[in-house]
Structure 1
Amino acid sequence: MRLALWQTQGFPADINANLLALDVQLRAAAVAGAQLLLCPELWLGGYQVPQQMAALAEDADGPSAQRIAELCRSYGVAVCYGYAERHEDGQRPYNAAQLIDADGQRLANYRKTHLFGAMEHELFTPGDCLQAPVEWLGWRIALLICFDVEFPETVRTHALAGAELVLIPTALTPEYRTVPELIVPTRAVENQLFVAYCNHSGVENGLVFLGGSCVAAPNGERLGVLAGGEGLLLIDLDRAPREQWRAQFPYLEGRRPALYGALVTR
């Protein structure tokens, strides 16, 4: 699979401008042979827009999702994007990510389970479950969002459910560069899967983003990195060395679940 990560500053609180920019990037991704485009966390309406967040929230099958589905069909490229999802009971929205395939079908919609910091806890309702991986183009794909990947249990749960690729929209600032540089490759190698981590760039309403979008392989190698600025990172994912990697890093096969319950102190 050829994967494209779109690292972008975006247009805060301007959904239409972001959708127009997606049209341009999907065209570029299609020309480059990409089959799936990954966008950052809360890309649709912006991350640093606390006063407007509730008003920017949409249903999972709302007007923006329908427009994105049209673009996916037009260019033959799937899209995974972050957005604020309207709560079904009128409560605080969810910080969500949705995957729409190249035929415009909604494959998965995930609500961030591990909210980060005071602002996110004030603005959002946390999701209450991880979603099972979905299958597309023969790949089993799972979704997480930003802070979720920093908990080993989340990626391990997906690995045990058969995931081969985890897509992670994120909104990361420079003081947390350890995440793409160390944690993301670690999650990939310890779980024997690919991890794609797509960040914002630039400055949004005073909040500086790191960039640093990357894709890590099951051997822990980062296959590509976008340092700063806007751009598309194109990565070809190859599962051919999978058996070799699993023999080299037998973490899943070597597990002893019976040991991992409550510890007994003496």
Structure 2
Amino acid sequence: MTSLRVALLQGPAGGPRPVEGNLAALDDAARRSAAAGARLLVTPELSLTGYALGDDVAAVAETADGPSARAVAGIASRHGVAIVYGHPERDADAVHNSVALVGRDGRTLARYRKTHLYGGYERAHYTPGGRLLVQADLEGVRVGLLVCYDVEFPETVRAHALAGTELLAVPTALMRPYDIVPRTLVPARSWENQLYVAYANRAGREGEFDFAGLSCLAAPDASVPARAGRGEELLVAEVDTGLLAASRERNPYLTDRRPGLYAA
């Protein structure tokens, strides 16, 4: 069985900053994560740019292999920590709200484009992704990717569970007053689908957006091994595939399903 120590970065607070400032903050978080023994760092939605970009979304968007991606690869390899990070991704005329998983050697292992856009702001500036299931194997753990609003749909997490995801990394920019999502819904998703969920939120206010914080690692046995407050914070906790296997044996939701009844 495998144990993977995971760090979750909550923050930063204070609104969008130049990419260089966010890369410096990421470098510091990766250094602290490595010092704590973490092998994976999960950061919030749009962690390289900030969320409240207004009409500057297209101007700051970069291609998947752009300079910011190369900078993150260098941070990952320098500290020996895999990183999940978010940024606006340009693809021809489209801009996607994207996240990527970079391995400890700096190699990109997976890239996901947010499929469920939230509210008028996101729909005005981003194109939804068309591929739901994105996974990669990391340190013996199958990691899946979603972004924020995606996890609030039961179908998305169940699809990951059926595809063998063991740890679902969810970079997030959840706003107040929706505390119910990290407090209730995310642990429920973890329990009902028998997988870990690493939910890394932003903190503080950016323009009109007031982010809820409350990042967490939710486990399949209904526990929450790590929970943040409202401010900037770095959480560290264990993903234990032994616990996962035992929990799935005790709570066989996936094997007891009757798909023939659900088709309609």
TM-score by length of structure 1 reads 0.95
Size of the alignment, in residue pairs? 260
- In structure 2, the partner of 1:198 is 200
- In structure 1, the partner of 2:87 is 83
**Aligned counterparts of 2:244 and 2:27: Cα–Cα separation in 1:** 34
- In structure 2, the partner of 1:8 is 11
Give the deviation of 1:90 after TM superposition: 1.4
Amino acid across the alignment from 2:181: V
SS in 2 for 1:30: helix
In structure 2, the gaps of 5 or more residues are none
Contact 2:52 2:209 in 1 (8 A): yes
**Aligned counterparts of 2:246 and 2:97: Cα–Cα separation in 1:** 37
Amino acid across the alignment from 2:186: V
**Aligned counterparts of 1:207 and 1:243: Cα–Cα separation in 2:** 39
Q: Residues 34-67 of structure 1: CA distance to partner in whole angstroms, max 9, x if unpaired?
A: 1111110011111011121111111111100101
The equivalences for 1:32-47 within 5 A come to: 32-47=36-51
Amino acid across the alignment from 2:160: H
Q: RMSD across aligned C-alpha pairs, in angstroms?
A: 1.1
Give the deviation of 1:9 after TM superposition: 2.1
- In structure 1, the partner of 2:189 is 187
Give the deviation of 1:205 after TM superposition: 2.0
Give the deviation of 1:217 after TM superposition: 0.4
The equivalences for 1:63-102 within 5 A come to: 63-87=67-91, 89-91=92-94, 93-102=95-104
Out of 85, 110, 113, which is 1:111 matched to?
Answer: 113
TM-score by length of structure 2 reads 0.96
Q: Which runs of 4+ in 1 moved over 2 A?
A: 241-244
Give the deviation of 1:153 after TM superposition: 0.6
Amino acid across the alignment from 2:191: V
Contact 1:9 1:203 in 2 (8 A): no
- In structure 1, the partner of 2:142 is 140
**Aligned counterparts of 1:254 and 1:96: Cα–Cα separation in 2:** 34
In structure 1, the gaps of 5 or more residues are none
Out of 216, 226, 229, which is 2:228 matched to?
Answer: 226
- In structure 2, the partner of 1:260 is 262
SS in 1 for 2:45: coil
Distance 1:55 1:184, change over 3 A: same
Contact 2:40 2:83 in 1 (8 A): yes
- In structure 2, the partner of 1:162 is 164
